[in-house]
Amino acid sequence: MNEIKIKIDNLTAELKEYNYNYYVLAKSLITDFEFDIKLKELQDLETEFPQFAHKDSPTKRVGGEVNKDFKTVAHRYLMLSLANTYNEGELRDFDARVSKTIGNNYDYTCELKFDGLSISLSYFDGKLTQALTRGDGSSGDDVTINVKTIKSIPISLRGNDWPKDFEIRGEVVMTRSGFNSFNKTREEAGEQVFANPRNAAAGSLKMKDSAEVAKRPLDCYLYYLLGENQPADNHYDNLMAAKKWGFKVSDFMVKAANVDEILEYINYWDEARKELDFDTDGVVIKVNNIANQQRLGFTAKSPRWAIAYKFKAERVETLLESISYQVGRTGAITPVANLTPIKLAGSIVKRASLHNADIIELLELHEKDFVFVEKGGEIIPKIVGINIEKRVANSQKIKYISHCPECGSALVRTEGDAKHFCPNEYHCPPQIKGKLEHFIGRKMMDIAAGEATVEALFNKGFVRNVADLYDLSAEQLLKLDGFKDKSVENLLLSLEKSKEVSFERLLFSLGIRYVGETVAKKLATYFGNIQALRTASKMELIMVGDIGESIADSMIEYFADPLNIEIIERLIKAGLKFEIEKSESQYENKLDGKSFVVSGKFTIPRDDLKRKISDYGGKNVSAVSAKTDFLIAGENMGPAKLKKAEKLGIEIISEDEFINMIK
C-alpha cells in the first residue's frame, strides 16, 4: 500500500510540474501523448485507491461538478474599475495629479489591458480557496469550481515564501486562435457562435457544468496582488514574486520612469497588438510603489493611482441598404447586411455578417437604418449599434425570412440551434453546389476544380452529388466553356489522384453536418473503415472522445438516408479509400507534438505544408509565442513574426530544412 501512495504522490508532483511549465512558462517538457498516458495512470490509481488522492490532483482539472446556482459573496477588498483616458493630454493630466499628491520621486508600470472577465482569487496556506467574479464591485459570484479547470491557474502554489493569506486578481481570457477553433466547432455543431473572445470567456465561466468549462480554451493572466505581508514594497516586484509561485503574469509588463516612456509603450503596442494571440483594448498604467498607491487612495469608483489608456476602435456610420440571406452547404441560413460602401480600418466595407435571427432581434434593426460598424477583432466587420435619431418615420422592423430564398422550402430551427436551416438538402441548388465545392477543396479531396467549374457542371446537369464527379467523361467536360484538351486532362487526372486521399480526409470531405476535420479524424481512426462507422450505434459513437450527442445523431441520420448510402457505394466502386491503411500512420509522431508557425511564400502551397505538419504529429499555430518550437520562413514573410521569433529565441527554418525533418 505504501508503494501505491508513493506512486500517486510522485505522479501528482510530476504532472503538476508539467502543467506549470506548459501553461505558465510555455515550455513543453513531454509530448501531449505522454502527458495523457501519465494522467490516465494517475486517474486509474486514484479510482482504485481514493484514500491516497490529493485534493489538488491534476485529474481534478477535468471538472465534473455541477453548480445549480452561483453564490454571491462579498469581496474582501472592493473590486473597482479603472478610469479611462484616450489621449496624451488626459494622460499628462493624470500624471500631474499624481505628482501633486506624492511629489516627483515615483515610477509607473505599464501593462496590456486584457479584454476578458475580471477574476479575484483567494489563497490560504498556498491553496486556492475561492474565485469570485467582479460582480458589482462589492460582491461577486463564486465560480471556484469552474476556475479550477483553468490549467494556468494554480490550485496549490510553488515554493513556500508566499503570504499565508492573500488575494490576487487577473483576467480570464480566451486566445484568438482558441476562440476561432472553438467557434468553428460550435458552428459545425449548429450551436450559436460567440461574437468575440471576451464573450466566450465570460459565458464559459458562468456555465453550470464544470466538465463543459474544462473543454473550453480558457487562460488567465494575473496582475494585482493584495493582502498583508507582501514580498516587496512595489507592484512590479510583487508580480515577479507571484510568477515564481506559479501564477501566469504577462511578459509584456514594464516599468516606466515618466509619461514619455509610457507613451512610447502605448505607441508600440497600438500597432504590435495586432500580432498577439489575445485581445487587448488598451494599456493600464499604475503607480509602482505600494506606499504611494495608499497615499493616492481611491475615489468612489476607481483608484487614483491607476488609469487605463484605451486604444481607439475605429467606428463608422453607414446606411443599411438591405439584408440578403445566404444558404450554406449544410442548409444553414446566414443573414448578411448590405451596406453603403464606406472605408473602415484601411479597407472598403460593403457587407457585414448578422450571424442569425437572434442578432437581428437584439439590434432591433429596421429597414434603411443608419448603423455603426466596427471591425470585430480588427478583421471582421460587425454592426455594433444603430443611430436611432436618423431612423425614418414609420420604417418597418426587419422580419427574418420564413422560407428558403433559393428553393422556397419552409425553414426549420430546432431547439438549441442558433441558425435556421433549409431542409431541402438534395434539391436546394446552393446546398448541392456547396457540398461539391467542399468536397473538391484543397484540405479535402484536393481536386483541380473551382467554384466556376462546379457552377458550370451543375448548370449543364452533369453533377448533382459528389459521386457524379467520378462518372465525368472527357466528352462532357469539353462541352464546358473554356475547357480544352489540357484542362480536361488535368481535371480527370486530378480526380484519379484523389482516389488516394486518406479515409479521414474523405470522411471530412463528405460534408456530414457537425463533422469537421478533427471529428472526421477521430471517427476514422477509431472505427477504421466505413462499414464499422455505418453500423455504429449512438452509444458506440459517443464513446469516441469528443463525440457528443449532436454529432452522433447527425451520423446516424446521414447513414439512415438511402441516397447517402448509394453515394458512398458509388464512391467505393470508383476506388476511393474508405478504410485506414497502416501506412497512413507510420510517421504519425515524427514531429512529436512540436508547434509550427508557417509564414511567407513557398514552392508548395502553404496548406500542403500545414497538412504535412499535422500528418507527422506536429501542431499548426497562427501566431509566434514562447510556446512555438519552429518558424518555417518563406519568401516575403511578415517582419513582425520574424522579429518576435528572433527575440524569443525560436528556431527559424527554411522549407527545405522542414522537408528534411520529416524524411
- State residue 182 phi and psi, 5-degree precision: -65, -45
How far apart are the C-alpha atoms of 39 and 41, rounded to whole Å? 5
- Angle at which helix 88-102 crosses helix 259-272, to 10 degrees, equals 140
Residues 6+ apart with CB under 8 A from 544: 522, 523, 526
Counting every residue, how long is the chain?
663
For residue 411, give the nearest of 483, 489, 335, 304 by alpha carbon.
335
Q: Is 247 within 8 Å of 235 (Cβ atoms)?
A: no
Which pairing describes strands 72-74 and 218-226: parallel, antiparallel, or unpaired? Answer: unpaired
For residue 27, give the nearest of 38, 35, 19 by alpha carbon.
19
Q: Which of 113, 148, 435, 644 is catalytic?
A: 113
How far apart are the C-alpha atoms of 582 and 594, rounded to whole Å? 23
The x, y and z cell numbers of residue 274, run together, are: 495586432
173 alpha carbon, distance to own chain's centre: 10
The x, y and z cell numbers of residue 510, run together, are: 463528405
- State residue 174 phi and psi, 5-degree precision: -125, 130
394 burial type by CB count under 10 A (0-12 exposed, 13-18 middle, 19+ buried): exposed
Beta bridge partners of 318: 371
- How many DSSP H helices and E strands does the chain contain? 24, 20
Question: Would you call 16 a catalytic residue per the annotation?
Answer: no
Residues 6+ apart with CB under 8 A from 384: 315, 372, 373, 374
Amino acid at site 531:
Q
For residue 42, give the nearest of 60, 25, 28, 30 by alpha carbon.
60
Beta bridge partners of 404: none
How far apart are the C-alpha atoms of 647 and 368, rounded to whole Å? 51
Q: What share of the chain is helix, strand, coil (3-state, %, to 5)?
A: 40, 20, 40
For residue 353, give the nearest of 553, 105, 183, 129 by alpha carbon.
183
Cβ atoms within 10 Å, residue 592: 15
Beta bridge partners of 294: none
Residues marked active site are found at 113
